[in-house]
Structure 1
Amino acid sequence: MKALHAIHLMTGLSAIALAAAPAAAQAQAAQAEDAATGGISEIIVTAQKKSESIQSVPISIAAVSGETLSAMNVTTLQALQGSVPNVQIDNFANTPNNAVFTIRGIGVIEPDPYAGNTVSIVVDGVPQFFSMGALLDTYDTGRVEILRGPQGTLFGANTTGGVVNVVTNQPTGEFGGNIKATYGNWNRFDVSGAIEAPLVKDVVSLKVAGIHTQRDGWVTNVWNGEDMGRKNVDAVRGQLYITPNSDLKITLQGEYVAARNGAPVVVNGGLPGEANYVPEGTFWNGAKLPMYRSPCAAAGKPCVAPDKYFSGNNEVPDQSDMTTKFFIGTIQYDNTPIGDITAITGYKNFTLFEYTDQDGTAKTNNSTRRRTHGYQFSQELRTSFSAGDAFSATAGLFYLKTDYHHYQMYHLDFALPGLIQFNVQDQQTESFSAFMQTYTQLTDALKLSAGIRYTHDSVNARSTLATGLGSKALTSADWAKFDVLFPGSLDVGGTKSWNNVGWKVGLDYEVGQNQLVYASWARGFKSGGFTGRIGVAADGNAPYNPEKVDTFEAGLKADFLDRHLRTNLSVFYTNYRDMQVAQIYFDAATNVQGNRILNAAKSEIKGFELEVQAVPTEGLTLRGSLAFLDTKYKNFLYFDPVAAKTLDLQGFALQNAPRWASTLGANFTTKLPGDASIVADVSWMYTASKFYTAVVNTPRSTIQPTYYVDALLTYYGPDKRYSVGLWGKNLLDNRYISTVYDSPGYMGLVGYAPPRQFGVSVGYNF
């Protein structure tokens, strides 16, 4: 049962998991060595929709345990940024609720839902269609698996970049629970816990888990001197586990999340002469503090984060509210005549309402009121079966339906006092697919994997835009009324469908015990669509085209020295065709902001991930990783609306794709009398510079290299019944730009990375 034990402990001590983790956690304290060999513990994942050792999966995959997330006091997936090789986890500056996952240079390109996702976030078997709210709250989490490269045969057609597979802690049928409290700087306070109680022994069990997390913001508002970017989130999850017999397992799961955060923080990275530039040192609207220096003040150079963070909001309430309701019903029926059957029903409903001072100053330049309501329904039905010892397969059907309604009232006083735009988006999508993944043991050591998926996607979209003059505040009862409505209102959209066949084929060969080499070819697909946030009619009248990805990958997963040394290597080449690229531009001639999705004819991506872990002596674990990424457009003629000319972008790098990334770490566990222990861990993470949200890679769109040091020191009592820990992130207090959108003529929209965070945590298990 050692493998099953590893599921719950999830030491994070594999080369992949440790390279992925910012620091080792309670699990590392619990099991640093394999009981039989004194070496590296086994980790079980479900990357191929079946439980198996991470070292036997012929995929480039990282696995981060829930214990690791808990020990480092990670409350959202975004805190893993920089820790997983060739994976970027960000958000857009003015839409912090949106997840921006980029794996191997392929990722989210647009904050509004119409653009879809290239990286699929899957929670307990249910894919999340909307990037809004996808930076999940990581409480009572079993593990996070990150699969790099297209995974379309098992996880859907839109996984051209990869999959983030989140597995929550499921009920066990046994009584137990835990509680944990954290206090840190920036007035951070968290309390989380879980409890499970059998209602009918061996038949029905109920589990409830939840979290409350809050903190102040680390950005100062120059208008009133108060903090910006505060956080306040409450979440609760209930699970009912029913086992009528040994073959039938039913889990009914419901979650409610209420986020009542501060408004998005936009930092003004403007330059003299741009529409939203505000001179440093000036006072506006009775501001308490002078206008801060633009972090992008040096023209023709990257933006630089200051020692102290400033922004401004004088126009709108400090409000960003998101409410989410999420239901999952899972039925697992084993040993049927047609195999082990799994049925997963998912339903998610969310509402996001927020205001944003879009110019980030105390001057009345521009602001937005936005509301998005969406839902998704999905149904997956699959069976896993085998024919003798040499052949096994998973086959199934999948259906997804989504619907969202979104409005944005946009005040553009910088262009013309009283100028407003009112954009409304309505979109429905449907996706149906049939899939099969097979595994054939050709010899004792050689295995063939082959999968195929047929997908039919359809989109029905409509967007409207009204422009005029208005004097109503965004908070007034008649905020949507115009004083003067300009002629030429837009009403665009349409209906379109696409069919596609994706596949994956691969071979893996066991060179020796715990040593595997593999090679694969995978094709991924992402549907086209219609632009929703429109500025001119041409933006939304015609659909943008689907994109396709072919990735060729080879890898090695090998343990040496009686499992005291682990070396994992993957190399890959990706042929990217009709790549979807978001373009946001400001047309000074008409005072409108345009938005569209373009298709770059061809690009290519190549690179590798090397992850190493060693246990040189009892209690000490060393880890490290090195990732390389070379991305470029091969064929892309781009019309620049600001320069009013066509540019040949051949050879330009893709967005959000740093060339190098590396991690180093060490974990030491000291055993104390009475079965107590102390765990010390330190990690260093480096990410090279990258371009962010700019089609043309300008200096202002450059994100600087980042260097982070995280650490923890935790005492565990006997039987690990209780713990007391000190932790810190970004201990050197480096100040960085995390996101910037370069909009020439308008300004740079900048976001700052978190400063140093530290605190103390106390936990108790029962």
Structure 2
Amino acid sequence: MTIRTTAAHLFGASTIAFAAFAAQPAMAQTADQAGTEAAADGQLNTIIVTANRREENLQDVPVSAATLDASTVRTIFDAGAEITALSARVPGLFIESSNGRAAPRFYIRGLGNTDFDLAASQPVSVVMDDVVMENVTLKSFPIFDVERIEVLRGPQGTLFGRNTPAGIVKIDTVKPGDEFAVNGSLSYGTFNTVSIDGGVTVPLVPGLASLRVSGLWQQRDNWVDNGFTGEKDVYGGYSEIAGRAQLLVTPSDRLSILGSYAVRDLDGQSTLFRANILGPGNNDLNDNYDRDTVFYDAGGRNEAAYKAQIATAKVDYDADFATLTSITSWADTEGRSRGDIDGGNLVTGPDFIPFPSDTQDSIDLNQFTQEVRLASNSNGPFEWQVGGFYFDSDFDVTTVGFDFPPPVTVNHTNESWAVFGQVSSQVTDALKLTGGLRYTEDDKDFVVVAGAAPQFTTVSDERLSWDLAAFYDLSGDASIYARVASGFRAPTIQGRDVAFGSAPSVATSEKIMSYEAGLKSELADRRIRLNGAVYYYTIKDPQFTAVGGADNLVQLVNADKGRGYGFELDSAFQATPNFLVTAGVSWNHTEIEDNTLAVGICAQCTIVDPTVVLSGSTRALVDGNPFPNAPEWIADLTARYAFPIGNAGEIFFFTDWAYQGKTNFFLYESEEFNSNNQIEGGLRAGYAKADGTFELAAFVRNITDADNVKGGIDFNNNTAFVNDPRVFGVSARINY
């Protein structure tokens, strides 16, 4: 396989246009970006996905999926945002974090994990360049030089493994090619916010070796005052640098070797918690809230610092009948974050604070993965792939309380292996069937290293995951599909409470069975795309984390059952060659089914659930409650209109809006700890050259300066945290 062949293959994948949902069109369409045919006649562009570990047209895949292209991602990150800014940018996807830029939490179709600990597991997997980012700190690795982001909704347990019962966020970066290329963006905005993202491809030896080097720099000045100490502009800033070098070598037409090394260095701050800003008796922000001010007496300026490095080697060998792929990866991350968790001080509050809370968590992690798969090369009616996967991680987590608790270090290890296979058969010209199996073994060990009484806990499980899908072409423009899939999240150990004198908690595997049916269509001569899906899933032994409560616990629990159902709709409308509108919406209902599960409650909030007293503590019965952080509605709208200026370029206007409906933050329901009807939008306006090589624009993010509550800290008082403020700025983009 020559570099020329590889580059064509990769550039073909990058000719994704704009997701059926939330996809901003490129500033000006070029042949490489969007396809000359689509640009000429005003049709929507083809979206390429790799949901089946092969490059396929989104319209031909029996999976509910959506994509974000490079231009969209850069727009979302214009104001220096990080990965949580992707929340609600496709139907069904929600992301939040109480750990600043370091440890995001993902939810798809309402299924996720609210655990803030650095050892927390999640049912949504993040896969970057074919490597699973298992730990929460790896999931926060900066996104830059992106080719596309795919969101695969529903269980993906056959090809991608355990801990994917909710779905996958799959990130693919730009790869080396056969020609010299430079692309990137630079933006500057309010609070001295800077975001630079770019890459350059340099062919070293034509037809044999090519190098791509890319990087990211984001920074913001401090802009939040400390009202307790009287200090000005001491919080809210960050500086983050990341880089990636990729070397592609193609010794022959059959063999390609891609080596990659990526690094990250974050110097920032953890989330700014704000004491007693909710209610009481409702979820409104009260007079204690001031976006520009906090009232801290501790927290060490909420400093957060993380470093990471990821090395990967991918080898592809094309035999006559199949392609053998090996992906070997090693990742290392270490860092710490400290915070004034109660969000205030004992002197002035604001309002009641029963005791101070100042803690720091740190992690030192190593992860190794190895995947080998063999996939058929035939373009005939029968396709197959088989493979094996090995995963090993080892990390220490240290918790320090600067008044209480004393330093405690615990160690987590996880070893897992799996074998998998998938077959697809074109039964008739209209009907295609796909089925897959995966067998997984997963083992975890936990041990107290220092600072507490010796404890050792181990869990293990072995499971068979499977899926079966049917895809039927109704016509050349419309298809329907049905999919049944199983998956599981491996057993989990939570040891954070060891630092507070309690034993670690354990949750057994959660097992999901999902049913999905969908429609995929392109209408009006490919000027309208309408894709939709309805789904229903049940979970046996769902894993939840009882976070906070008056006792400040972090405990894993298994509910008896859970279920969810809803729909997703992705659409795009090319009204004219110069006017594109995209829209998406999802509705999701989730429900805990366990009439005995009782969890700790907040110290001051107004509880809605029935309560019981167990061992002297009041607890809430959560049967019938929605899953935590499961928005009922998510919606998005984008629109782009351009005025051509001769043959040289265009003046364009682009706006994007995201909506998040009712969302309960915790397992229990209260009047305070929930959000509803949150809207956030952005605007870009500027000039773009017709060939797509240059763009200059002004932008604003969070255009209405909306104050949206993104989560809460419930053990002590009605503390919460909010979204980023409005940012005005200018940006420039190049693509040569």
Deviations 1:557-584 (A, max 9, x none): 0011111111111000010111111113
- Cα distance change of structure 1 residues 656 and 368 upon mapping to structure 2, 3 Å threshold: same
Is the contact made by 1:118 and 1:162 (CA closer than 8 Å) also made in structure 2? yes
1:430 aligns with 2:403: no
In the alignment, the residues of structure 1 paired with residue 577 and residue 549 of structure 2 have an alpha-carbon distance, to the nearest angstrom, of: 61
Which one of the candidate residues 236, 258, 264 is aligned to 2:265? 258
Q: How far 1:236 moved relative to its partner?
A: 1.1
1:688 aligns with 2:661: yes
In the alignment, the residues of structure 2 paired with residue 56 and residue 205 of structure 1 have an alpha-carbon distance, to the nearest angstrom, of: 32
1:216 aligns with 2:218: no
1:229-378 equivalences under 5 Å are: 229-269=236-276, 295-296=277-278, 298-304=279-285, 306=289, 308-318=291-301, 319-336=303-320, 339-363=322-346, 365-378=356-369
Which one of the candidate residues 49, 52, 57 is aligned to 1:48? 52
1:459 aligns with 2:433: no
- Cα distance change of structure 1 residues 667 and 537 upon mapping to structure 2, 3 Å threshold: closer
1:632-671 equivalences under 5 Å are: 632-641=591-600, 644-645=613-614, 647-671=620-644
Deviations 1:619-641 (A, max 9, x none): 11122122111111122422344
Is the contact made by 1:421 and 1:465 (CA closer than 8 Å) also made in structure 2? no
1:140-159 equivalences under 5 Å are: 140-159=145-164
Deviations 1:383-427 (A, max 9, x none): 111678221111100000001111111135xxxxxx433332101
- Cα distance change of structure 1 residues 133 and 623 upon mapping to structure 2, 3 Å threshold: same
Q: How far 1:188 moved relative to its partner?
A: 0.5
1:739-754 equivalences under 5 Å are: 739-743=711-715, 746-754=716-724
Q: How far 1:36 moved relative to its partner?
A: 6.9
SS at match of 1:70: helix
Deviations 1:601-648 (A, max 9, x none): 111100001122212222111221221111111224223445634654
Task: Report % sequence identity.
Answer: 26
Is the contact made by 1:312 and 1:357 (CA closer than 8 Å) also made in structure 2? no
Q: How far 1:9 moved relative to its partner?
A: 4.2
Residue aligning to 2:87: 81
Is the contact made by 2:260 and 2:311 (CA closer than 8 Å) also made in structure 1? yes
Residue aligning to 1:507: 470
Which one of the candidate residues 375, 387, 401 is aligned to 1:410? 401
Query: 608-617 or 30-39, which moves further after superposition?
Result: 30-39
1:19-38 equivalences under 5 Å are: 19-21=21-23, 23-26=24-27, 31=34, 34-35=38-39, 37-38=41-42
Is the contact made by 1:531 and 1:539 (CA closer than 8 Å) also made in structure 2? no
Which one of the candidate residues 676, 687, 691 is aligned to 1:715? 687
Query: 448-457 or 61-70, which moves further after superposition?
Result: 61-70
Report how many residues are paired: 698
Q: How far 1:199 moved relative to its partner?
A: 1.5
- Cα distance change of structure 1 residues 429 and 564 upon mapping to structure 2, 3 Å threshold: same
- Cα distance change of structure 1 residues 263 and 88 upon mapping to structure 2, 3 Å threshold: closer
- Cα distance change of structure 1 residues 716 and 620 upon mapping to structure 2, 3 Å threshold: same
TM-score computed with the length of structure 2 as normaliser? 0.90
In the alignment, the residues of structure 1 paired with residue 94 and residue 549 of structure 2 have an alpha-carbon distance, to the nearest angstrom, of: 28
- Cα distance change of structure 1 residues 217 and 156 upon mapping to structure 2, 3 Å threshold: farther
Residue aligning to 1:616: 575
Residue aligning to 2:352: none
Residue aligning to 1:725: 697
Which one of the candidate residues 123, 126, 141 is aligned to 2:128? 123
Is the contact made by 2:118 and 2:397 (CA closer than 8 Å) also made in structure 1? no
SS at match of 1:34: helix
Is the contact made by 2:15 and 2:48 (CA closer than 8 Å) also made in structure 1? no
SS at match of 1:153: coil
1:565 aligns with 2:528: yes
Deviations 1:573-604 (A, max 9, x none): 0101111111134566xxxx432100011111
- Cα distance change of structure 1 residues 211 and 585 upon mapping to structure 2, 3 Å threshold: closer
Residue aligning to 1:555: 518
In the alignment, the residues of structure 2 paired with residue 565 and residue 545 of structure 1 have an alpha-carbon distance, to the nearest angstrom, of: 45
Q: How far 1:536 moved relative to its partner?
A: 8.4
Residue aligning to 2:708: 736
Deviations 1:489-541 (A, max 9, x none): 54333122110011111111011113110001111101112221015899545
- Cα distance change of structure 1 residues 549 and 217 upon mapping to structure 2, 3 Å threshold: farther
- Cα distance change of structure 1 residues 217 and 656 upon mapping to structure 2, 3 Å threshold: farther
Q: Which runs of 5+ in 2 are unaligned?
A: 347-354, 602-611
Deviations 1:36-68 (A, max 9, x none): 753111121212100111111111111000122
Residue aligning to 2:351: none
Deviations 1:649-699 (A, max 9, x none): 32211111121222222211332224322322112222112011x221112
1:699-710 equivalences under 5 Å are: 699-710=671-682
SS at match of 2:630: coil
SS at match of 2:139: coil
Residue aligning to 1:282: none
In the alignment, the residues of structure 2 paired with residue 512 and residue 533 of structure 1 have an alpha-carbon distance, to the nearest angstrom, of: 55
Residue aligning to 1:475: none
In the alignment, the residues of structure 2 paired with residue 250 and residue 389 of structure 1 have an alpha-carbon distance, to the nearest angstrom, of: 27
SS at match of 1:20: coil
In the alignment, the residues of structure 2 paired with residue 360 and residue 542 of structure 1 have an alpha-carbon distance, to the nearest angstrom, of: 27
Q: How far 1:194 moved relative to its partner?
A: 1.6
In the alignment, the residues of structure 1 paired with residue 103 and residue 44 of structure 2 have an alpha-carbon distance, to the nearest angstrom, of: 37
In the alignment, the residues of structure 2 paired with residue 433 and residue 10 of structure 1 have an alpha-carbon distance, to the nearest angstrom, of: 32
In the alignment, the residues of structure 1 paired with residue 658 and residue 567 of structure 2 have an alpha-carbon distance, to the nearest angstrom, of: 17
Query: 534-543 or 630-639, which moves further after superposition?
Result: 534-543
Q: How far 1:328 moved relative to its partner?
A: 1.1
Is the contact made by 2:408 and 2:499 (CA closer than 8 Å) also made in structure 1? no
- Cα distance change of structure 1 residues 71 and 358 upon mapping to structure 2, 3 Å threshold: closer
Q: How far 1:309 moved relative to its partner?
A: 3.8
Is the contact made by 2:15 and 2:46 (CA closer than 8 Å) also made in structure 1? no
Query: Partner amino acid for 2:727?
Result: Q
Deviations 1:286-310 (A, max 9, x none): xxxxxxxxx12x3221142746343
In the alignment, the residues of structure 1 paired with residue 488 and residue 366 of structure 2 have an alpha-carbon distance, to the nearest angstrom, of: 23
- Cα distance change of structure 1 residues 5 and 402 upon mapping to structure 2, 3 Å threshold: closer
Which one of the candidate residues 191, 203, 207 is aligned to 1:198? 203
In the alignment, the residues of structure 2 paired with residue 606 and residue 218 of structure 1 have an alpha-carbon distance, to the nearest angstrom, of: 42
In the alignment, the residues of structure 1 paired with residue 590 and residue 659 of structure 2 have an alpha-carbon distance, to the nearest angstrom, of: 19
Residue aligning to 1:112: 117
Q: How far 1:173 moved relative to its partner?
A: 2.3
Which one of the candidate residues 437, 450, 453 is aligned to 2:435? 450
Is the contact made by 1:686 and 1:707 (CA closer than 8 Å) also made in structure 2? yes
1:176 aligns with 2:181: yes
Query: 605-614 or 26-35, which moves further after superposition?
Result: 26-35
Query: Partner amino acid for 2:283?
Result: P
Residue aligning to 1:474: none
In the alignment, the residues of structure 2 paired with residue 20 and residue 604 of structure 1 have an alpha-carbon distance, to the nearest angstrom, of: 27
Is the contact made by 2:548 and 2:714 (CA closer than 8 Å) also made in structure 1? no
TM-score computed with the length of structure 1 as normaliser? 0.87
In the alignment, the residues of structure 1 paired with residue 540 and residue 453 of structure 2 have an alpha-carbon distance, to the nearest angstrom, of: 31
SS at match of 1:160: coil
Is the contact made by 1:568 and 1:611 (CA closer than 8 Å) also made in structure 2? yes
